[in-house]
Amino acid sequence: MAKALIGYMSSDLRDPRLASDNARLRARVAELESLVVRLSEENDRLVASRAAEILDAAHTQEMQPA
């Protein structure tokens, strides 16, 4: 079955339309993967920032007289 799939893929790449569509889709996937990484990093920064704000608020509340 693997040989059939490889043969199928190879024959598809001979068609210039399919090859260009494949290249376009691969570029789009790469673009979306980089977007996921960027958003994940941004989310991690925001979570860390919010955690620091919560800790600071907790320390501030503990220091105030009752």
Domain spans in the chain, listed from the N-terminal domain onward: 2-63
**pLDDT tens for residues 8-32?**
555 555 788 888 999 999 999 999 9
**pLDDT tens for residues 52-61?**
998 888 777 6
Gap between the Cα atoms of 25 and 65, Å rounded: 62
Predicted TM-score (pTM) of this structure: 0.60
Number of H helices, E strands in the chain: 2, 0
Contacts of 18 (CB under 8 A, 6+ apart): 12
